[in-house]
Structure 1
Amino acid sequence: MADLPASVRVALWSTAALSGALDVDAVPRRAMPDLDHVDGLVAQLGLWRDLGERLVLVALPRSGDLRSMPRGPADLIAAATEAEELVYVTGLGGALVPQIQTFGPEGDQGWEAQWTAFDSDPVPQHVVQQLSLPDAELELRRGVAALTQQLADAPGQPLSGHGLEAVVRGSVDEVWGLPEGLPPRAIRVIELAGAITNLAGAGLDHRLHSVDSNSTLQRERILRELHDVSTQALVAATNVGALYLAGWR
């Protein structure tokens, strides 16, 4: 089943908690119900709340592309690019990066998330407020239309462009576990971008590569572009949704 990055769900549920919709102790259970143990999240959320923070945003960086994350020290950048996700606050600055892994003896293992706090620079409010949900949706739909056509025209299987569109239409009916209070458009973009991000990532699985190296490289390029386009839209839609939950919109 398609799923959202942990930091997307944590940003939304944490903002809801800091705005008083639920207790911060409930955030791990609501945001990550599929994990057996979560450590390091609640205490930092409580600290941010006590310091007056009400908005938690998400970033989904990768090596070579740090546009979505706030500026910070080298240890934050290293951890965030390895995890490819983080949440952060804008007023005083500060970030949390998850490490999701198995724990326990072989044959009886569970999943845990260890959240580590890092310093980061504050983000000016006007930078946050300029996020546009209509622009994010337009860029997503334009990018998906162009890239899925390229994928349909590219040789090799699986995940041809037309097949990808069909799978996405089925995937957006899944239960995503989002808090109440999000505008319908934000939910729509989060669902679509999240599903495409998952499917593009699945298509990059080396076990699905064609024996034809040229075809493989061509499809990889298209899928990486599709993944980047959908990730940018997912970040924008999540952060606009957080603005609504915090009462900033």
Structure 2
Amino acid sequence: MTLANPRGPVAPDTYHGGMSVLPASVRLALWATASFADRSRLEDVLSRALPDVDHVDGDPLARLGLWRDLGERAVLVALPRPGDLRGMPRGSAEFAAAATAAGECVYVPGMGGALVPRVEVYGPEVDQGTRMTWTAYDTDPVPVHALEALSLGEVERELRSELAELTEALDGLDARPWSGSDLRATADERLGGRGWGLPDGLSPRCIRVMTMAAQVGTITDVGLSHVGHAVDTHGTERRRALLADLQGVADRALAQAATVAALGLAGMRPAGARD
């Protein structure tokens, strides 16, 4: 399936390394859930969720349609990384390996099932396009109580706390990833000019937490790409480890906030939840 691409081809580094912008799985989960909720055309989900992808393979719409027809109300998201599969539904080793390699997946909690994207850049350097192939996997259902236990307030507090702690540690190395005009300009360029492209109906707090997490992920990604600027080997390795930890914190917060947002769109948040 070829998508209209009003923004032009996506830069190759958009999908490289950490979560520099909102991952495709976050956007797909939210737009698909919104479509499930208001019974709008599923055919519009891909163009709204993935306007920066030129070609989509694997027919994810067929799987989304099946999930909806079988009674699923929400499409959720996980952003796994090596050694940290928190938020992932239980599935095969093949699924876990594919999702970890991609750094993302969407899944449905009721009947179980997941989609994992693989991104390829094609074409000559002066005119590159992006192909995203989605592969379906079977997974176990996710217990409702595990989803209801998610607290957006706790997610936000943990993100702010760990951000402050890791930033202080980076300051102690005199190795802040966002210091220096070139690094700041690079981060601003990646963040600027890319609307988040979120569906209506999300709570302001969900949007705030997702935006904060994505911004931290972008800055961290830039810092990791320039990690060799540290003065000595020990400092370099320490800086890399701290940035990787910070990237994991940002990814986890983004996935949890997006999952809470999707549950809210689907009307699946428990009474009294303050999102």
Instruction: Name the count of aligned residue pairs.
Output: 245
TM score, norm. by length of structure 1: 0.90
Instruction: Tell me if structure 1 keeps the 8 A contact 2:23–2:104.
Output: yes
| Residue identity matched to 2:101 | E
How far the C-alpha of 1:78 sits from its partner, in A, is 1.4
Residue 122 (str. 1) matches residue 141 (str. 2): yes
Equivalent pairs: percent with the same residue? Answer: 51
Instruction: Return the match for 2:68 from 49, 73, 76.
Output: 49
User: C-alpha displacement at 1:129, in angstroms?
Assistant: 1.1
**Match for residue 221 of structure 1 among 237, 241, 245:** 241
1:66 aligns with 2:85: yes
Please state how far the C-alpha of 1:108 moved relative to its aligned partner: 4.3
1:172–1:195 contact (8 Å) kept in structure 2: no
Whole-angstrom CA distance in 2 between matches of 1:173 and 1:196: 17
**What letter corresponds to residue 249 of structure 2 in structure 1?**
V
Deviation at 1:174, TM superposition (A): 5.6
Question: Aligned in 2, Cα 1:156/1:137: closer, same or farther, shift over 3 Å?
Answer: closer
Query: Is 1:22–2:40 an aligned residue pair?
Result: yes
Distance apart, 1:155 and its partner CA: 3.0
3-state SS in 2 of match to 1:19: helix
Stretch deviating more after TM superposition (147-156 or 110-119): 147-156
Residues of 2 paired with 1:35 and 1:43: CA distance?
18
Alpha-carbon contact 2:209-2:253 (below 8 Å) kept:
yes
Q: TM-score, normalised by structure 2?
A: 0.82
Tell whether 2:219 aligns with 1:199.
yes
The secondary structure found in structure 1 opposite 2:174 is coil
Per the alignment, residue 11 of structure 2 pairs with none
Q: CA deviation at 1:106?
A: 6.4
Amino acid at match of 1:27: V
Amino acid across the alignment from 2:250: S
Matched, 1:234 2:266: no
Counterpart in 1 of 2:50?
Answer: 32
Which of 55, 63, 75 aligns to 2:94? It is 75
Matched, 1:88 2:107: yes
- Within 2, Cα distance between the matches of 1:49 and 1:179? 18
Q: What RMSD, in angstroms, separates the aligned Cα atoms of the two structures?
A: 2.4
Post-superposition CA distance 1:144-185 (Å, at most 9, x none)? 111112112213465349x98xx68x9589621111100000
Q: Residue 87 of structure 1: CA displacement?
A: 0.3
Alignment partner for residue 110 of structure 1, among 129, 132, 153? 129
Show the counterpart of 2:117.
Answer: 98
Counterpart amino acid of 1:183?
S
Structure 1 residues 36 and 172, CA gap change in structure 2 (3 angstroms): closer
- The alignment partner of 2:120 has SS state of strand
TM-superposed deviation, 1:203 = 1.0
Q: Secondary structure at the match of 1:204?
A: helix
User: Which residue is equivalent to 2:10?
Assistant: none
Counterpart of 2:154 (choices 130, 135, 138) is 135
2: distance between equivalents of 1:112 and 1:36? 6
Q: Report the equivalent of 2:7.
A: none
Moved more, 17-26 or 76-85: 17-26
